[in-house]
Structure 1
């Protein structure tokens, strides 16, 4: 009996340790690293196909682009940080709401791109989640793009976060030009640098067939380099965000209603998503002009184009 009680005590202690570790606060350096991505940047985007995986496949042309981008902290709590990216044209001052990244510490679930215009909400295994941050990335309309889960590492004094392998839809730079693949499997890596931060993407372009088989076409390396700048006037971006932040907060709440729990979300728009982007951007523009946008106007867009994902 004493032996059994000892075993029980050991198991109870182990379970208590696991629970405590799971509930342990994030390393303060993690939050500092994520928050270090806020600021004003000149950004260079580069994508190169590297390894070609199918006979007769021809390497796509390298892609180079760039822009001026400010990253604004929208939400900051001990377990969640939301960063909004906004582009500004250096000559005209034209503002474009860009992508958004949400960071959640030990998130219990995340959305995963499962089929065209469909994202399933799935639990994150405890062993992958312990001590990890899940980064979820969103489209300009705040529609979902992809998530990845990983831990920050500080080896040799370098702050680097590396995700696990996850699925994402085709990037905007490709889906208007190509139809030979329909998904990307990717590992993402963020590194804080002396001059800003970088985003590396290790992508594989995949044709996912209806019967479940997959054909890998090519691997691609993406490199987004964010270098701090004081040479760009970002005041138009802050003016835009001051006028529209509450509106976009309401839009995020409507997306959260689908993405916070299973089954997830399905978009009835075409892959370009313009059926939602245009009305939402138009409504934001009206607010910037001092006009009013009713909540039912936002609801109308979602009612027309958004529905729960199929249950699987």
Structure 2
């Protein structure tokens, strides 16, 4: 159905206002400011309980030592890789990844069990905005969000729109009463580093489209700069394996760069892919060759295209 002229003019006005206020060069510096070495505290607390008889779950507290490395830096895209280091043993774990794209035309969204659909981002949402997409340790997709950086009162803050994401690892191992999170994310630069706030709603989505909201949750991840931890093992690992992981990202991008997206054939823990990919990366770090065909086989075994969405349901991003 055609949009009324007034609606089209309103959208055009919004886009013009966003474009006039946008400062992508300043935004890039804000995103790049998240690189560095950190002591990280993770805290999650259920807040508002939304169903009769639902009992507030225990708060979660954890932490770690993590370095954030710039993998790609262009005027319209920045890729940041997080790597954990155990301070005592020096053991390295490739952690999550965040990609930032300016005025992204599409993004992926967690649409069904083990399924991520690639959908257009409405022009009024993406104009002057950055889309952040977050990836699992294997570089499998997790979630995306779109929003603009704001510098009111001298504080750099990016706030996303509402989007869907799967259960986090801390929850899916012990919860079966919900199957998706509806989330708003907020990143803020601080004098000592940066923070990641999560405004989560735990939702049971059913095949008939019904959504039952169980509870709201506030997550707070605090990244505090440190010079007390030796992150050389992490940097050595990345220097040795960056080329390998670039090949892995290329395989994922083959599914996530265009509709319809992908579906994972693994169990929800993803270990069927995490184990072989991490093993191959370990071989590369040790100087052993890993044929491209071996990487491709992991994807052939465990990843397939997502089912095509009905044209009427794929024209907006929630």
Q: TM-score range by the shorter chain?
A: over 0.9
- Asked if structure 2 preserves the Cα contact closer than 8 Å seen for 1:26 and 1:105, the reply is no
For residues 114 and 210 of structure 1, the distance between their equivalents in structure 2, rounded to whole angstroms, comes to 11
Residue number in structure 1 paired with 2:156: 159
Residue number in structure 1 paired with 2:306: 309
Mapping of residues 262-301 of structure 1, within 5 Å: 262-301=259-298
- The yes-or-no answer on 1:33 pairing with 2:30 is yes
For residues 24 and 209 of structure 1, the distance between their equivalents in structure 2, rounded to whole angstroms, comes to 40
- The yes-or-no answer on 1:193 pairing with 2:209 is no
Residue number in structure 2 paired with 1:222: 219
Q: Deviation digits for residues 218-247 of structure 1, max 9, x if unmatched?
A: 000000000000000000001100110000
Question: What's the Cα RMSD here?
Answer: 2.0
For residues 95 and 226 of structure 1, the distance between their equivalents in structure 2, rounded to whole angstroms, comes to 18
Post-superposition shift, 1:288? 1.1
Q: Deviation digits for residues 90-144 of structure 1, max 9, x if unmatched?
A: 1000000000000000000000000011000000000011100000000000000
Mapping of residues 70-85 of structure 1, within 5 Å: 70-85=67-82
Mapping of residues 1-312 of structure 1, within 5 Å: 26-312=23-309
Judged with a 3 Å threshold, the aligned counterparts in structure 2 of structure 1 residues 179 and 26 are, in CA distance, closer, same or farther, namely: same
Extract unaligned runs of 5+ from structure 1: 1-10
Counterpart secondary structure, 1:136: strand
Counterpart secondary structure, 1:75: strand
Q: Give the TM-score, by structure 2 length.
A: 0.91
Extract unaligned runs of 5+ from structure 2: 1-7, 310-318
Q: Deviation digits for residues 185-240 of structure 1, max 9, x if unmatched?
A: 00000000000000000000000011110100000000000000000000000110
Q: Give the TM-score, by structure 1 length.
A: 0.93
- Asked if structure 2 preserves the Cα contact closer than 8 Å seen for 1:186 and 1:201, the reply is yes
Q: Deviation digits for residues 43-90 of structure 1, max 9, x if unmatched?
A: 000000000000000101000000000000000000000000000001
Post-superposition shift, 1:26? 4.3
Counterpart secondary structure, 1:242: helix
Post-superposition shift, 1:23? 11
- Asked if structure 2 preserves the Cα contact closer than 8 Å seen for 1:26 and 1:79, the reply is no
For residues 129 and 114 of structure 1, the distance between their equivalents in structure 2, rounded to whole angstroms, comes to 20
Residue number in structure 1 paired with 2:316: none
For residues 176 and 25 of structure 1, the distance between their equivalents in structure 2, rounded to whole angstroms, comes to 41
Counterpart secondary structure, 2:234: helix
For residues 213 and 259 of structure 1, the distance between their equivalents in structure 2, rounded to whole angstroms, comes to 27
For residues 147 and 112 of structure 1, the distance between their equivalents in structure 2, rounded to whole angstroms, comes to 7
For residues 106 and 221 of structure 1, the distance between their equivalents in structure 2, rounded to whole angstroms, comes to 28
For residues 167 and 178 of structure 1, the distance between their equivalents in structure 2, rounded to whole angstroms, comes to 17
